[in-house]
Amino acid sequence: RKRQRYVEKDGKCNVQHGNVRETYRYLTDIFTTLVDLKWRFSLLVFILAYAVTWLFFGLIWWFIAYCRGDLDHLEDHAWTPCVNNLNGFVSAFLFSIETETTIGYGHRVITDKCPEGIVLLLLQAILGSMVNAFMVGCMFVKISQPNKRAETLVFSSHAVVSLRDDRLCLMFRVGDLRDSHIVEASIRAKLIKSKQTQEGEFIPLDQTDLSVGFETGDDRLFLVSPLIISHEIDERSPFWDTSRQQLEKDDFEIVVILEGMVEAT
């Protein structure tokens, strides 16, 4: 029958956090928050980060020219402005973009008779480098997330319970489709099932480890070819007292977690 999954086949967790009051904690770790955003919001933040800084510094460049009186001496060749050929907010905005992106000034260039402009130039260069490092870092981490790499890790569609070496085992297969190996690959399994303690306490979605070879080291995989992962149903297994009929009726889920480092990256 159709059941609501705790973890989808693609690794997405069907858990929604509700009644979160201390939302400021997301802002204290702003880098991880931006990385966890959906792509459309990440691109929006990426565009706004640059557009806002360009507009902000463009407004300051225009304000300096306005306060110095450069805009009133546009045709006066004897006047030395703070920025040559800056005749309005649009040109100040373009100068801000050229400064922060180091495109090249051309005929619009700062002069040495404007100390406040030199200070602002240094501030914008430093802040622009920080914005570049932060936003490019966010985009790089987001692009290099292992979500897509996991698409070429294939698990068997069904798990089976069968005899193996005269022992009852729960088994499934896992394989890697790529030629680049996963280094230090390890696998573990969790049984997600609600339970009630002897004291009468109800624990929803309780997690119990399923042994897949931790004691013997079989959980460390050399994933060159498809492998069969086996959980022996012995006295320590949570399925030891479960019959076949009860297994079909029980509401539980087994989450298998494969971890490792990609050889290429």
The string of pLDDT tens digits covering residues 81-107 is 888 888 899 999 999 998 888 877 678
pLDDT band of residue 123 (cuts 50, 70, 90) is very high
The string of pLDDT tens digits covering residues 170-211 is 999 999 988 888 888 999 999 998 888 889 889 988 899 999
* Mean pLDDT value of segment 213-242: 90
Locate the domains of the chain by residue range: 23-144, 149-262
Q: What is the pTM of this model?
A: 0.67
The string of pLDDT tens digits covering residues 20-37 is 777 778 778 888 888 888
- Whole-angstrom CA distances from 240 to 24, 235, 244 are 46, 6, 11
* Mean pLDDT value of segment 121-132: 92
| CATH architecture classification, 23-144 | Orthogonal Bundle (1.10)
Q: Choose the CATH number for 149-262 among 2.60.40.10, 3.40.50.300, 2.60.40.1400, 3.20.20.220.
A: 2.60.40.1400
Strands 253-262 and 160-164, bridge-based pairing? unpaired
